[in-house]
Amino acid sequence: MSREIRPDYQTQHLFPQSLEDWIEADHPARFVREFVDAIDLSTLGLTEEQEARRHDTHGRPHYAVDMLLKLWLYAYMNRIRSSRALERGCRDVLPLIWLASKHVPDHNTLWRFWKRYRATIRNLFLQSVRVAIRENLVGMVLHALDGTKIRSASSKRSGLHRADVRKAIDKLDEQIEQLERQIAAEGEDDDKQGPDDRLPKQLEEREVLRTRIKESLAALDQAGREHMHPLDPDARMMVSGGGRMSFAYNAQALVDQKQGVILSADVTSEENDEHQLEPMLRQTRENVGSYAETTVMDSGYHTAAGLGAAEAMGADVLVAVKEKDHQIGPYHTARFTYDAMTDSVQCPEGQRLDRQGTRKHKQKPNALNTYHCKVFKSCPMATECSRDPRGRVIEISPHHEAVKRNRQHPNARALLIQRQSVVERAFAEIKETLGLRRWSFRGLELVKAQWSMMCAAMNLRRLVAARI
């Protein structure tokens, strides 16, 4: 006959349990401890002041940097990003109690760690990449680059928006004008008994509010922006979270195909990915020493300057084109052929367009060579080729050949399909499994540190999975 197992709260253990026995041998917390203990903290970019503080014997005792690193790293691997939640975890969650050796740093200490050691946290990510390489988890065959928008810690509602500010000013001007008319009308009333300061007080309140709103408008003018949050001025309005516009940052990650290890990571305030190809490739070379056989990315990275820079760096990249060949018309720019020998362009009808000059665009770093059609007025296909009565003009970038080679990249379709299962899978795990849909910090530097911690935690999850 079986008996139910019930808790026994009265038994006293004569010999206390060893802390090492609290966690099983293959627990991820042990791997976190081994990982941080194996790092020489001097390689993490500690300043002289921070290094001196670690060994300072004056004042109150302080928590060791490596212990706080272990706590935060394990917390990020398990969906904990709040300093208050981590403080509670150091009391309630056994792996955190074990990592902290039963110490309980308060939330202020845990928060100050981020401000003091944010550069150290960013270097921690690099250490996770190097460990993954030593463990042979990086294949260097296919890399995938992408960006994802993560909302700011500050809400859209409390931000400054030029259109809303102007509406508020117009509404206040109307209210102030109406109050002034009421005051003037009551001043002419002979039967009015005694002074009435109600209306002047309302007027004064609105004048103060109007001054504050004008200051907000001046702040937008000074920043040269349509939207800005006073508590997080680095954030920009971006499409994030179900297609809604909100203050956000653009988080970048380059992922290796073999095990899903993140090799380079960064955060930018730019709303799109057009200028992120070159810096992310450069960071990958610094972190890993070389490039993959092929690096793939979506059409958001498709710029002539980016493709030219990647080719100059010696990286084989494949960027999805914004328009497929079957989607473009018969007289699309891509249908025109450039001949470098004669420095001319041939149209689909076989006509030659000679070099006319150069044209500079605000959003493009390099001047574009322009080629003009001389037979446009007599060409029977003129109306289909261009609506400009002056004739068709083709612009050729200095990186035209790089753009052409990218369009003709072998096995492009199969490689671009693989991109989705490499980098988008990593973003899905970060957002869904680990719950990072809003930053916990304000300001670009602290957001960069948080993204580095998250990517380091992701890499350690890959290392733990490979060991199991």
Do 148 and 178 reside in the same domain of the chain? Answer: no
Residues 255, 371 within the same domain:
no
Are 287 and 368 in the same domain?
Answer: no
pLDDT given for residue 212 in this prediction: 72
Q: How far apart are CA 250 and CA 409, in angstroms?
A: 28
pLDDT at 263: 97
In angstroms, the CA 251 to CA 448 distance is: 8
CA atoms within 13 A on the CB side of 181: 6
**Would residue 450 count as lying in a domain?**
no
CA nearest neighbour of 252 among 140, 361, 395, 146: 146
| Number of folded domains that form the chain | 4
Q: Does residue 361 belong to any structural domain of this protein?
A: yes
For residues 51 and 110, membership in a common domain is answered with: yes
Query: What is the 3 state secondary structure string of 167-191?
Result: HHHHHHHHHHHHHHHHHHHHHCCCC
Give the pLDDT of residue 390: 81
Q: Domain residues for 222?
A: 160-187+196-228
Domain identity same for 170 and 249: no
DSSP bridge partners of 354:
344, 372
Q: Which helix (H) or strand (E) holds 128?
A: helix 118-134
Rounded to an integer, what is the distance from CA 31 to the centroid of its chain? 28
Determine, yes or no, domain membership for 462: no
Query: Are 436 and 316 within one domain?
Result: yes
pTM: 0.83
Q: Are 466 and 131 in contact (CB under 8 A)?
A: no
pLDDT at 190: 47
Are 269 and 418 in a shared domain? Answer: yes
Three-state secondary structure call for residue 339: strand
Are residues 53 and 180 located together in one domain of the fold? no
Evaluate whether residue 135 is within a structural domain: no
C-alpha to C-alpha distance for 433 and 337, rounded to whole angstroms: 48
Cα separation of 422 and 455, whole Å? 14
Residue 317 carries which side chain, given as an amino acid letter? V
CB 259 within 8 A of CB 132: yes
CA distance 262 to 459: 6
* Domain shared by 95 and 221, yes or no: no
Q: Are residues 33 and 101 both part of a single domain? A: yes
How many other CB atoms sit within 10 Å of the CB of residue 164? 14
For residue 249, tell me if it sits in a domain. yes
Q: Is residue 284 in some structural domain?
A: yes
Contact between 37 and 64 (Cβ < 8 Å):
no
Asked whether residue 98 falls in the same domain as residue 23, the answer is yes
Q: What is the pLDDT of residue 344?
A: 87
**Tokens 């990003």 sit on residue:** 81
Question: Is the same domain home to 317 and 329?
Answer: no
The strand pairing partners of 339, in sequence order, are 344
Q: What is the pLDDT along the chain (468 residues), one digit of tens a residue?
A: 577 877 877 887 776 678 888 889 889 999 999 999 988 877 777 665 566 666 666 557 788 888 999 999 999 999 999 999 999 999 999 999 999 999 999 999 999 988 888 888 888 999 999 999 999 999 999 999 999 999 999 888 888 787 777 777 677 677 777 766 776 676 655 455 555 555 566 666 666 767 776 777 777 777 778 888 888 888 999 988 777 889 999 999 999 999 999 999 999 999 999 999 999 999 999 999 999 999 999 999 998 889 999 999 999 999 998 766 556 788 888 788 888 888 888 898 888 888 888 888 776 767 788 888 888 888 888 888 888 888 888 888 888 888 888 988 888 889 999 998 999 999 999 999 999 999 999 999 999 999 999 999 999 999 999 875
d(CA 113, CA 93): 21
Residue 31 in any domain: the answer is yes
For residue 456, which of 287, 273, 292 has the smallest C-alpha distance? Answer: 287
Residue 13 lies in a domain: no
**Cβ burial, residue 378 (10 Å; 0-12/13-18/19+):** exposed
DSSP state of 11: -
Note the pLDDT of residue 339.
85
